[in-house]
Structure 1
Amino acid sequence: MGKPLDPPPGTNSLSVRDNRTGKTYNVPIVDNSISATDFKAMRAPSAPGERPENETEKGLRVSDKGFLNTAVMRSEITYIDGDAGILRYRGYPIEQLAVHSSHLETAYLLIYGSLPSKTQFQTFRDEVMHHSVIHSDAEQFFRSFRYDAHPMAMMVSALSYLGSYYSEANPSLRGQTLFTKGDHESLVNMDKQIIRLIGKATTLAAMAYRVRQGREFVTPPTGLSYTGSFLYQMDHLGQEDFRPNPVLEKALDVLFLLHADHELNASATTVLQTGSSLVDPYSARAVAWYYSSSFDWSVSKWMPGGANEAVIRMLVSIGKPENVPAFIEAVKKREKVLSGFGHRWSDPRSFIVRKTADEVFKITGKDELLETAMALHDAAMKDEYFVSRKLAPNVDFCGLIYRAMGFPMDYFPVLFAVPRVVGWLAHWRQMMLQEGGVKIWRPRQIFVGAGKRDYVPMDARTPVEGLKKSPSVLEHSGISKRTSLASFKHAKL
């Protein structure tokens, strides 16, 4: 850094001249990336009249609102090239895995880096299924929710609740290096929590489903697949030799595999942001579930999994295929929102979803919204407005499959988040074991607020009012409204 001579062309570095000081800095380029901390060496005296809050003397900061071009991890897990339609888990194309693999085998791949041998897979599968059983106290926990509670609200709470049973998984109780040491004892502990979370995810999800149906809970069965056990726990009502339909079981397994990971999307980033503070894995996963469910309750867009639900609601609002042209024009005028067309270029998962949908519809019958969905797809793909923006249909059309299988729309986000537990765990494990240890994620800010101000006593203040400058006036109804009109003696402050 700061060498007076520029390196010759072809050198893997970036030369930066700071015109404030006249100095030239050579920043190394590694894997087509530069280190943001290298810019901290680019210091300059504060300009006359410059705000001290800019901290110019402490080095240059990199502004990247929304992390649009900031890499925070060196990862070996998932590679995505949206423009080229590429999605690979640990190097394996998603198209190959969807045909030849299973969700649990792919989970092993994502977490441990390679496809398992037959013996390795049997051991992993048996452990996951063995750890699907939940403590009996969980029944009382789930019964404490209102009958109409959203299933994602239950899941967020359930994961936090689950962590209370396993003190050996809490770095606050067992030491901050609990999962970062990389020795045998640490890895065994980590693997046990990973297996527990994968195994119990379907059980918790099935309990959230059945409590809203007013049904008794079902103990996870033995001898079924991961998704077979999930369907059994949701649907079994005491029938003898009950077995889920194999086509639905396979379809759900394929969709779970497709949803298992999507690189550092928002929910995975939330796991890592939280995990960097060395919390227990249950808390980190609960935060990710919360992120997946923290958007607009009024329309139940529990994103990112809620995109499936948003697609179905959009199709319902369109109705018949003949209404598609008018809807397309409304979207172009920004009067309507087109859900399910967010991924750039071609998402390879969309072709797998379509094939899976055909197999499901053979036994369930076609969803009446399918023709509307395909008409919308064809119209958008032929319209220059969408073609020029490289907007293609993405995997969120799997909501049609969930709908055909009989799942309620507000349960779609759960069907996204259950398999995504695998991806969250894979990224969390990678971060815990990364070379150089875990660095807490602490983004910088560019402070543009007021400089130093002296305190003003309340009686001497001038009210600051207006939109965004003061609290909104809240409307009250029911008992609150009646109480405000009643006469009573207020308590003294």
Structure 2
Amino acid sequence: MGLTLDDPHKPRDSLTVTDNRTGKTVDIPISRNSVPATAFKKLSLAKAREGQDRPEDEVESGLRVFDAGYQNTAVVQSAITFIDGEAGVLRHRGYPIEQLADKSTFLETAYLLLYGELPTSAQYKLFSREVMHHTFVHRDMADIVASFRFDSHPMAILTASFAALGAYSPEGNPALAGQKIYTAPTDAALRLLDKQIFRLIGKSITLAAMAYRMRQGRQFVAPPAGMGYAESFLYMMDHLNEGSEYRPHPTIAKALDTLFLLHADHEMNASCAAVLQVGSTLVDPYSAVSAGCAALYGPSHGGANEAVIRMLVDIGSPDNVPAFIERVKRKEAVLSGFGHRVYVATDPRSKIIQKIAEDVFALTGKDPLLDTALALRDAALKDSYFISRRLYPNVDFFSGLIYRVLGFPTDFFPVLFAVPRVVGWLAHWRQMMLAGTAAVKIWRPRQVYVGEGERNYVGMKERGEEGAQQGKKKKERGSEPSKVHHPTSTRVFLARESKL
């Protein structure tokens, strides 16, 4: 007998979940191989069970989904970037990253990420003209950048500079111009939204170049005319008043443009999630991009290529690689530039970067650390310890070597990651804003509270030395303020000297 419509064994696009606490069963729909987390709220208890649940467990409100660090939680529906970590696949709007890196340019790929299709000649001309037109910054920004200490980390300068940009675009600030200026379904809202995007993409290379030159004590350089995106960036960093005929070397400009393309977007990573979390409050895009820049600053994210160079310097030479490998296995050292949160087999960008490295080294000569890097790569790829953990070179492993041989300071590497990633952040922010006011929901993750239950206040005199709140519990690390050492001030020192 064939299956009937009511046959319980017929496959259905749903998940049947039984709450063994109550015996209640719910059907949760499956769409695009995902389930809505809010459906689990249907599994609730009428009240907390004595001895098993606390009021803080909020059992009456329904079951919560606990996912530390968003390891398996989808927070948006997106049509921008697809990653298959098992197969080592990265596609932007359906186009493989290998094809884009070989045939496209950074600004063309930026257009693709933002607007969904590769541009026509007329569309690209309009887009690139707008972006390059907005490379100029207000002269007061020079004072802001120059106010930082000479040894400030360039990512600190860039993060603050993005936030400061918002002060120069009051018409683009929802707090000043109106909450719905980007989410309203009007042509005016769309034009205003795109104008901020042009500004941020254009000005990011200028701000980055200013941060670079400020730390060297060199005057800032105005954006040039008639140059491409990466070429203009290199010009603003390196121009030494040689005259108007100066142009960066085309091989270097092409290499940097491709590196920018490879870093333009990578789906819902930590910095992109930061941009969207902040953006979900309907704040201005400059503040949202600044938040993304701050997230990218971390050594576990955009600072990884900087960490690779420091690691290779510490290793010293290929002869020291075996000993370093053993230290990593004993968890006495950190292996940077290997493995990825998403890719478990190979990072498709790493192979492209190796080819870029060959082109650059053919022009500049190879970096002295290259032999150490290759020895480390080969040793790790043959070692069962790293093979079993699927630790393969990622995009950060070789990019730092390229930046280093081009003369970029090590702490400037994250800036070279942030500049192109602005495009990806804005593509996702734009997608969110175009969903409309009703669809833009403020991101408000839940938590599982594990702290103390309700208790009564005890006066300071009654708490005792160890504190009545502590009771007989063992003090936990971090349960009280640390004692910080403060150097003796000059005033106190002089007062002591006068008594001698």
**Where on the TM-score scale, by shorter chain, does this alignment land: which range?**
over 0.9
2:478 is aligned with 1:474:
no
Superposition deviation, residue 466 in structure 1: 5.7
Distance 1:387 1:313, change over 3 A: same
CA distance in 2, matches of 1:315, 1:283: 35
Alignment of structure 1 residues 71-470 onto 2, 5 Å: 71-240=74-243, 241-293=245-297, 295=298, 301=299, 303-343=300-340, 344-396=344-396, 397-434=398-435, 436-462=438-464, 463-464=466-467, 467-470=477-480
Asked whether the equivalents of residues 17 and 27 of structure 2 are also in contact (C-alpha less than 8 Å), the reply is: yes
Superposition deviation, residue 217 in structure 1: 0.7
CA distance in 2, matches of 1:309, 1:434: 37
Distance 1:327 1:267, change over 3 A: same
Deviations 1:433-481 (A, max 9, x none): 2265101100111111111111111111133466321111111114189
- Tell me the residue number matched to 2:34: 33
Deviations 1:107-144 (A, max 9, x none): 00001111000110011001100000011111211121
Q: Alignment partner of 2:34: what SS?
A: coil
User: Which runs of structure 1 show a deviation greater than 2 angstroms over 4 or more consecutive aligned residues?
Assistant: 5-9, 462-467, 480-487
Asked whether the equivalents of residues 206 and 233 of structure 1 are also in contact (C-alpha less than 8 Å), the reply is: yes
After superposing the two structures, state which structure 1 stretch, 325-334 or 47-56, moved more. 47-56
CA distance in 2, matches of 1:30, 1:421: 31
Distance 1:483 1:450, change over 3 A: farther
Q: Alignment partner of 1:164: what SS?
A: helix
CA distance in 1, matches of 2:381, 2:435: 42
Distance 1:483 1:78, change over 3 A: farther
CA distance in 2, matches of 1:276, 1:123: 29
Distance 1:421 1:6, change over 3 A: farther
Superposition deviation, residue 9 in structure 1: 3.1
Deviations 1:241-262 (A, max 9, x none): 1000001000000000000011
Q: Alignment partner of 1:224: what SS?
A: coil
Counterpart of 1:140 in structure 2: which amino acid?
A: D
Counterpart of 1:122 in structure 2: which amino acid?
A: K
Q: Alignment partner of 2:137: what SS?
A: coil
CA distance in 2, matches of 1:258, 1:79: 14
CA distance in 2, matches of 1:103, 1:486: 63
Paired positions, count:
476
Distance 1:52 1:121, change over 3 A: same
Distance 1:23 1:404, change over 3 A: same
Superposition deviation, residue 368 in structure 1: 0.9
Alignment of structure 1 residues 2-81 onto 2, 5 Å: 7-45=8-46, 46-49=48-51, 50-81=53-84
CA distance in 1, matches of 2:476, 2:347: 45
CA distance in 1, matches of 2:349, 2:485: 46
CA distance in 2, matches of 1:22, 1:143: 66
Superposition deviation, residue 483 in structure 1: 7.2
CA distance in 2, matches of 1:6, 1:307: 54
CA distance in 1, matches of 2:484, 2:143: 36
Asked whether the equivalents of residues 6 and 15 of structure 1 are also in contact (C-alpha less than 8 Å), the reply is: no
Superposition deviation, residue 354 in structure 1: 0.5
CA distance in 2, matches of 1:10, 1:181: 42
CA distance in 2, matches of 1:225, 1:209: 19
CA distance in 1, matches of 2:62, 2:476: 37
Superposition deviation, residue 484 in structure 1: 12
Superposition deviation, residue 181 in structure 1: 1.5
CA distance in 2, matches of 1:242, 1:99: 27
Q: TM-score, normalised by structure 1?
A: 0.94
CA distance in 2, matches of 1:484, 1:447: 52
After superposing the two structures, state which structure 1 stretch, 8-17 or 350-359, moved more. 8-17
Asked whether the equivalents of residues 339 and 390 of structure 2 are also in contact (C-alpha less than 8 Å), the reply is: no
Cα RMSD over matched residues? Answer: 1.7
Distance 1:483 1:65, change over 3 A: farther
- Structure 1 residues without counterparts, runs of 5 or longer: 296-300, 488-493
Distance 1:58 1:481, change over 3 A: farther
Q: TM-score, normalised by structure 2?
A: 0.92
Identity %: 58
Asked whether the equivalents of residues 176 and 278 of structure 1 are also in contact (C-alpha less than 8 Å), the reply is: yes
CA distance in 1, matches of 2:491, 2:338: 44
Deviations 1:38-97 (A, max 9, x none): 111112222123311111111111111111111000011111112211011111000000
Counterpart of 1:71 in structure 2: which amino acid?
A: A
CA distance in 1, matches of 2:93, 2:117: 7
Distance 1:485 1:247, change over 3 A: same
Counterpart of 1:354 in structure 2: which amino acid?
A: Q
Counterpart of 1:76 in structure 2: which amino acid?
A: A
Q: Alignment partner of 1:69: what SS?
A: coil
Asked whether the equivalents of residues 318 and 375 of structure 2 are also in contact (C-alpha less than 8 Å), the reply is: yes
CA distance in 2, matches of 1:486, 1:213: 40
Superposition deviation, residue 182 in structure 1: 2.9
Asked whether the equivalents of residues 6 and 26 of structure 1 are also in contact (C-alpha less than 8 Å), the reply is: no
After superposing the two structures, state which structure 1 stretch, 222-231 or 336-345, moved more. 336-345
CA distance in 1, matches of 2:20, 2:407: 64
Deviations 1:213-269 (A, max 9, x none): 111111100000001100000010111210000010000000000000111000000
CA distance in 2, matches of 1:159, 1:341: 30
Superposition deviation, residue 482 in structure 1: 3.6
CA distance in 2, matches of 1:345, 1:305: 21
- Structure 2 residues without counterparts, runs of 5 or longer: 1-5, 468-474
- Tell me the residue number matched to 2:3: none
Superposition deviation, residue 21 in structure 1: 2.0
Asked whether the equivalents of residues 180 and 437 of structure 1 are also in contact (C-alpha less than 8 Å), the reply is: no
CA distance in 1, matches of 2:433, 2:8: 37
Superposition deviation, residue 168 in structure 1: 1.1
Distance 1:483 1:23, change over 3 A: farther
Asked whether the equivalents of residues 276 and 429 of structure 2 are also in contact (C-alpha less than 8 Å), the reply is: yes
